[in-house]
Structure 1
Amino acid sequence: MPSAEATWNGAVLAVTDKFETVEGNVYFPPSSVNMQYMKPSSTHTTCGWKGVASYYTVEVDGKQNKDSAWFYPSPLPAASNIKDHVAFWKGVSVQKKT
């Protein structure tokens, strides 16, 4: 069974064997994310078919990676499968394993 793992600055941010892939990004279910590393951000962006995204700043050992995680708390119907799932970018390593 395939699995996925997100890491940054030596910390495992998320790991799961159940994830969604949308537009090349791995979306981790909320229960698989280590929320101790997620700090809420005031940043929001809008996608025409997914809706409004909210962001987290990832913080590990006092180092911050601003807005490097995002999620859709109230996605549009076409993206309902990724509601509250978290995706990463900006140097966060996301690896899929088979």
Structure 2
Amino acid sequence: MKAIWNNTVVAESDDTIVVENNHYFPKDSLKKEFFEDSIAHTSCPWKGRASYYSLRVNGELNKDAAWFYPETSHAAANIKDMVAFWKGVKIEK
């Protein structure tokens, strides 16, 4: 699977996990040069507290376009530290 934003592959892996129709990518599949830490956080009742990354590709910023759970609930342990995308990031085979 590939995560694509601004015509650029920002993550690629054959080992994604799908939860609630979102592909979660292993952190080592991220092209880290496109990722910036964000101060944003949200909470999910069953997964835990999410942290975010913004994407910067070809000079354009996609704020808080990727999220991950550094600490998960027991029910979501399989996606701990894996990264999912939204805000226009396309997921393709």
Matches within 5 A, 1:1-98: 4-95=1-92, 97=93
RMSD: 0.7
Q: In structure 2, how many angstroms separate the alpha carbons of the residues matched to 1:36 and 1:80? A: 27
Counting matched residue pairs gives: 93
How far residue 12 of structure 1 moved from its aligned partner, in angstroms, is 0.7
Q: In structure 2, how many angstroms separate the alpha carbons of the residues matched to 1:33 and 1:82? A: 15
Q: TM-score, normalised by structure 1?
A: 0.92
Q: TM-score, normalised by structure 2?
A: 0.97
Unmatched segments (≥5 aa) in structure 1: none
Unmatched segments (≥5 aa) in structure 2: none
How far residue 77 of structure 1 moved from its aligned partner, in angstroms, is 0.8
Three-state SS of the structure 2 residue aligned to 1:78 is: helix
